[in-house]
Structure 1
């Protein structure tokens, strides 16, 4: 079959930088004492300097955003959060599309999000914006969390293998900051301290430029099935991201690595695009997979500058690799999601 290529990636974030404001608010929810000190130490070690949001921050003590979306004691309902997602998502997607550059002849459109839903939704807005043919084949991928970008690329890969004339537009968009919860548990607050908003747009086709996509693998880890979970609740989506995830990955990955790498040794891959789910997640991958020294630098840089944006995050990492690519370098992309599960993609620069 004809090879398939990830040609280009465009990315965008909202204009509001919120990490300091969100951290101060979260810290204020914890009573003075040992737990607040623990939270502060963990936040310092998170490896995040900036995160971006569609919400404008409010610097006054005890407040999150300038317009009162998160009013103390009266956080918004799920419906209000979805209304905001529907209002904000298209504009951010359009900015990522502008960063991607010209796209012609799109035959397939794949969108992925786990932070908002509407119908007609983001796929319709993008199709209208780009003037796509009415016959464009649309696929919406929902609730697969941080690994959804690799799942979406796999679907794009399958479409081009089935029809080498196919040109697939893949858009991953998450507004994670619309799901802040007013809860004092340290683990929950540390979880939400990771997340920011972002969007990626990518073109996948048979045109031989960018990254050749060589194959995909998945591994379910049922022994840790409840350590990452994402469920719709009355006041937003409830996120479970256990502090045990890095330990579970460190235990589970070595035995699954031969299958995930399709029998290759870790040393065979020069480029490692690892989803930066958090500093400790990257540390666990580094410890258990033994990539070349410094191979996770791009992932750590994206974490520092953007936090975890869920599904588009790994595309930010791969965009950095595309920008500095050297022909003939083999790579592995890896992301984790609910389940616990891992999705991988092998690629080579061309």
Structure 2
């Protein structure tokens, strides 16, 4: 079902892009919902009828930072392969995490309560031909960092029972404590220091995370409205 859900998102993205799917040169597929061989990238290639020579990259177990990771990789591929058009797909079926609670891991209920099934897709390229393509956003920069003292904050492991998921209570605090430093590193080169002056789409990792980030940065309520709607 993961590739089928990804297909729905892909068809919408390709339609909005405005070009035939034969122009897609690369496919990045990311899911945390299991591991298969051949992977969901292969299955989606067949479902969409993409060219058999499409260059595929399958990513598993990226969890909460999957969206940022695939955008970063797609940006690199598009900028370093002339004419590349990268179809990026994330798809999740959360049944793999669903099971009864245990006394030792009540935190697993948090993940079951927060996350649901869904998929998203975009087409990314460099130097768009605006006479036939309809670009919506420009991907200016992408980065990744490891927060100090964050080891073990979020854990997921594939076991016989499925995907086990554990979330420490201090995750909202870890994120809010480090968020401004990360933003400064990202936006200083662009001369941006007012966090209310930018458009926000944040990963909806839970109400507590959003509340603490909003408070820490002094964000106006409407800045995280789209994120809260997704949550």
> Aligned ranges for residues 21-32 of structure 1 at < 5 Å?
none
Q: Does 1:210 align with 2:169?
A: no
Higher RCO, 1 vs 2 (CA within 8 Å, ≥6 residues apart): 1
1:89 alignment partner in structure 2 = 2
**In terms of Rg, which structure is larger?**
1
- Which is strand-richer, 1 or 2? 1
Match of 1:151 among 65, 69, 80: 69
CA–CA separation in structure 2 for the residues paired with 1:268 and 1:261: 13
CA positional deviation for 1:188: 2.6
CA–CA separation in structure 2 for the residues paired with 1:122 and 1:212: 27
CA contact under 8 A between 2:94 and 2:116: conserved in structure 1?
yes
1:50 alignment partner in structure 2 = none
CA–CA separation in structure 1 for the residues paired with 2:176 and 2:26: 37
Number of matched pairs: 216
SS of the counterpart of 2:82? Answer: coil
For residues 49-74 of structure 1, the C-alpha deviation after alignment (integer angstroms, 9 at most, x for no partner) is: xxxxxxxxxxxxxxxxxxxxxxxxxx
CA positional deviation for 1:265: 1.1
CA–CA separation in structure 2 for the residues paired with 1:163 and 1:268: 35
SS of the counterpart of 1:220? Answer: coil
CA–CA separation in structure 1 for the residues paired with 2:159 and 2:95: 16
2:213 alignment partner in structure 1 = 285
CA positional deviation for 1:91: 1.9
1:219 alignment partner in structure 2 = 145
CA positional deviation for 1:158: 0.7
CA contact under 8 A between 1:229 and 1:240: conserved in structure 2?
yes
- Which is helix-richer, 1 or 2? 2
CA contact under 8 A between 1:164 and 1:205: conserved in structure 2?
no
Q: What is the Cα-based RMSD across aligned positions, in Å?
A: 1.8
Match of 2:222 among 288, 294, 301: 294
Unpaired stretches in structure 1, ≥5 consecutive residues: 1-87, 304-350
